Structure 1
Amino acid sequence: MGLKKFQIVFDNPWSTYYSGQPVTGRLLLTVDSPKKIRGIVIHFKGEAAVEWSETETRSKPSTPAGTGNEGGATTASSGSVQNVTVNYSSHEQYFENKFNLLGGSSGEIEMPAGELCYPFATHLPPNLPSSFEGEHGHIRYTVKAKLDRPWKFDQEAKAAFTVISPLDLNTHQTAKEPVRKEVSKHFGFCCWSSGPLTMTLSLPVSGYVPGQEIPITVDVENNSDVPIREVKCTLRKLLTFTVTNPNKSTKKDNINIGELVLGPVEPHGTSSWTQMLKVPPLPPSNLNNCSIIDLDYDLKVKAKSSKWHRDLQTTTPIILGTIPLISYQPPVVPAGEKPPGEVNGENPNVPAGTGISPAGYNVPPPAMEVLQAPGNTGWNMPPSDPNAESQPNVPSQGPSLYPDLSPPTFSESMFGPKNIKDAGDNQYTQGNLEYAPRYPVFNFENK
């Protein structure tokens, strides 16, 4: 139909919002000549999905004599089996909002030629889980615009945005607690036994935020005759995916995020290290309000000995939040080190409503006609709700509660983009279908 551009652009350049915030943006179109359409529909959706496939071995059903394969009948009792692929899945929907941005379901209207801009907005519910993209499941928030054309295939534009559910470490008692874990073991064979190997893990607190460095202290006292090759400290992401179809089942994934390698420790020797492990852009712990994806973090420390001896290890939970502990002052990052989240000299911005905005943030592109349908079309802010316009842009647990806290930047997940095309999309769906959620990253340089 001569549609040169059909694009969704969020007013927030990082497409990142806290739950409870308004989401605003514009639908940009370039049309070469006036066109008849039924209308333009905007569809917001927030949902979680989990799926995986497994190959199961099952007995083949019995085949009556004379009707089976050539050469004789095949029965289940003969021991014949077959491999069957079983698809497991589960789904949760958190919110959905669909409205006409232009026109309606009946009749036709004329869309003028030129560069067009139609603003849209919606309010996010207050208790949404944070965006997440994983191998076996996701929590995803999208908006799709559909251009309804009579007697022709509909054109679609799609975009994803990030939602952050705040986790304030200052309100989490466990996050404030220091860690000290001591484990030991004896090496021996039959009648022989050596002295103990003792390892102690210490952390100042249990809760951290992306961009922060975890000061890991490990003390090893090796009173045995066995050398310790290395001590490995690994920050891990612990995932549990739950499905309900065709029956309830779970799948667990442990993913290494970062590690330190210390050592060695000689027999009858002692060593002590304090090393920093920086937390990359990651979603907060727990994924509250999602019942089919569970997310935790831990720190695993393993002292690796000779091949024929079992390793000594310990783990401790780590809580990742979106607001750092005010009572804990992290070690100073040396001046001149690139702040976390900074890419090619660009400093990623904060979501709308946090008080920080770049130049031109709300300035529409030049030479573009901004059109708004009469009334409240395209705006999900019902006039009957007296609180709709007065809802705070920053959630009650957001950074605004701590005026002395520098706002975070927002950086893409360390695991990179995922394809967001789903069963509801078609070959006419436009937009950037490779998407990586962004998470708050704090800069503790020279604090």
Structure 2
Amino acid sequence: MAGGFVKGEIKLDTKPVYYSGQVVSGSLVFTLDNPISFSVIYIQFLGEATVSWTESEIETVNGVQNHRIINYFGREEYFNQRVTLAGGTGVSQLPAGPQSYTFSYQLPFNAPSSLKREQGKIVYSMKAHLVHADPSILVDELVKEFEIVAPFDLNLGSTLIKQPTQVEFEEVYGCDCFCSSNPVTIHVKLPVSGYCPGQVIPVSIEVTNQSSVEITKMIFQIVSKELYRSHQPPSEYILPETVLTTTKKGPVMARSKRNLTCELMVPEIIPPYLENCGIIDVGYFFRVTIKLSGCNDELQDEAEICLGLVPLREFTEEYVHPLADSLPTGPIPDASQAPPHLLLPPVTNAVRAQSNSSLNRVQYAPPQQNPYQNPPPYPGLNSSYPGQRPVSSTSMEMKPKLEIGFNVPADVNTGYPGAGSSYPGAGSGYPGTRPGYPQPNPQGRGNPPSYEASLQFPHPPSSMPGPSYSQGGFAPSAPPPSS
């Protein structure tokens, strides 16, 4: 290290949080104690998702139980690109003293949001390399992680997002095990199906209780559910659901009728948008639980809702995200103007075609044909995880009544051309095929390809100006400071 990146650092021009499609820019600074000879200095930009977990299995052979630990693993790569800062054409010299090199790299417009969980993560990083002319000297490296917020504009999604969400109950109760035909009817309605963090959802409730059973409490919640898919061996893992927010109402006496309203606050989070991730799913649901008097079982049902970053115009006059300080600076890039080489290959329904679980990722993009039939290859993609991934049976199952995903008419503009498609209801399967990945680096997944092999970039040079930005819908954060 004494001859390379001494006191080295990767400095970014902004905070390390970016919208999909923004430009990452900064400088590599370091100090040399002595002059050195080097071959190349470059920065490698990497975006990938990984999932992993273990399960214990018991096998009985001739009456003897054997315990076996199964390790599940999955990986997707979104980009793996290099930006050359110096050298690359032979042996070059660097004098002793401070060194500084600027860089820039434009992110794909449909890169999924960053995410970190125990069972899976989506991570973005940049790694600076200094390759010495003497091959016996180890390559010096500096690493810096950054985050991506994939912005979802509710105005560009399915038309169903603008329609109300309804949950209904109709049960018959009597004084002696359903001996009478006195119904309990409950209608719960939300004005629309898409919301943003910090918004207050008005919940309207109509209750007609003609039975002798008292409704002691009505509980309204927003819950999140996550699913992870492995490739080796193929399987699925569903996390226990998380309750994000709760409000209550009631009671409603027997043989009475009431019209009630309450407010449900959308939690202050930055919901991940995983349209282009095939191995991690996140869904949000509005759940209603009805508790009854006596020994009667409680009633429960739920409906999918969308959590986005830009609110519906018809539903919101003014909006500032409650976590605006944690969001990227600057406007949201207009994904509809993205050139083909800055769009990742879309995740098609085939990625989840053989899923055994009813929990699928929330989808908002229509099932359109991809206008870019032959996207450029992305170096470093690992072909050991092909696009079509069969999934084996798993004992973890969700309720079959759940549906995640809005079906979108083909003429709806989502701003993400060809990026994924809506998922049908539970157990219906998903047609389609995702294009396979190129062959992996023969040196192994852990080693980057040689520098010479990466001189042909599918992306334009970093000096090429990026597409113009435009603000889609409402600003999720405070406007950027004027220069």
TM-score normalized by the length of structure 1: 0.68
CA distance in 2, matches of 1:103, 1:22: 23
RCO comparison, higher one (Cα < 8 Å, 6+): 1
CA distance in 2, matches of 1:323, 1:207: 10
User: RMSD of the alignment, in Å?
Assistant: 3.4
> In 2 relative to 1, CA 7–201 (structure 1 residues): closer, same or farther, beyond 3 Å?
farther
> In 2 relative to 1, CA 22–382 (structure 1 residues): closer, same or farther, beyond 3 Å?
same
Q: 1:389: how far off? A: 1.6
- Say whether the 8 Å CA contact 2:225–2:240 is kept in structure 1: yes
SS at match of 1:229: strand
In structure 1, the residue matched to 2:22 is 21
Q: Which runs of 5+ in 1 are unaligned?
A: 60-75, 356-376, 395-399, 411-447
CA distance in 2, matches of 1:409, 1:232: 34
- Say whether the 8 Å CA contact 1:350–1:407 is kept in structure 2: no
Q: 1:307: how far off? A: 6.8
In structure 2, the residue matched to 1:445 is none
CA distance in 1, matches of 2:321, 2:104: 33
Q: 1:111: how far off? A: 5.2
In structure 2, the residue matched to 1:437 is none
Q: How does 1:298-447 map to 2 (within 5 A)?
A: 298-306=285-293, 308-329=295-316, 340-341=322-323, 347-348=325-326, 350-353=328-331, 382=460, 388-394=464-470, 400-402=471-473, 405-408=474-477
CA distance in 2, matches of 1:36, 1:93: 34
> In 2 relative to 1, CA 91–223 (structure 1 residues): closer, same or farther, beyond 3 Å?
same
- Say whether the 8 Å CA contact 1:22–1:393 is kept in structure 2: no
2:122 to 130, 136, 139: 139
Q: How does 1:156-171 map to 2 (within 5 A)?
A: 156-171=142-157
CA distance in 1, matches of 2:70, 2:277: 24
- Say whether the 8 Å CA contact 1:297–1:320 is kept in structure 2: yes
1:211 to 182, 198, 218: 198
Q: 1:97: how far off? A: 0.3
Q: Does 1:87 align with 2:71?
A: yes
In structure 2, the residue matched to 1:220 is 207
In structure 1, the residue matched to 2:220 is 233
The residue type equivalent to 1:277 in the other structure is M
CA distance in 2, matches of 1:145, 1:83: 44
Which is strand-richer, 1 or 2? 1
Aligned length: 349
Q: Does 1:121 align with 2:115?
A: no
Q: 1:165: how far off? A: 4.7
CA distance in 2, matches of 1:15, 1:9: 13
- Say whether the 8 Å CA contact 2:164–2:192 is kept in structure 1: yes
- Say whether the 8 Å CA contact 1:48–1:92 is kept in structure 2: yes
- Say whether the 8 Å CA contact 1:169–1:322 is kept in structure 2: no
Give the share of equivalent positions with the same residue, in percent: 28
CA distance in 1, matches of 2:103, 2:266: 39
SS at match of 1:325: coil
CA distance in 2, matches of 1:235, 1:201: 14
In structure 2, the residue matched to 1:274 is 262
CA distance in 1, matches of 2:111, 2:15: 21
- Say whether the 8 Å CA contact 1:17–1:23 is kept in structure 2: no
Q: 1:273: how far off? A: 2.4
CA distance in 2, matches of 1:228, 1:123: 56
In structure 2, the residue matched to 1:36 is 36
- Say whether the 8 Å CA contact 2:332–2:469 is kept in structure 1: yes
CA distance in 1, matches of 2:180, 2:285: 32
CA distance in 2, matches of 1:177, 1:244: 37
> Rg bigger for which structure?
1
In structure 2, the residue matched to 1:180 is 166
- Say whether the 8 Å CA contact 1:213–1:279 is kept in structure 2: no
In structure 1, the residue matched to 2:271 is 283
The residue type equivalent to 1:292 in the other structure is I
Q: Deviations over 1:20-57 (max 9, x none)?
A: 3322122233x373353635331111112122111011
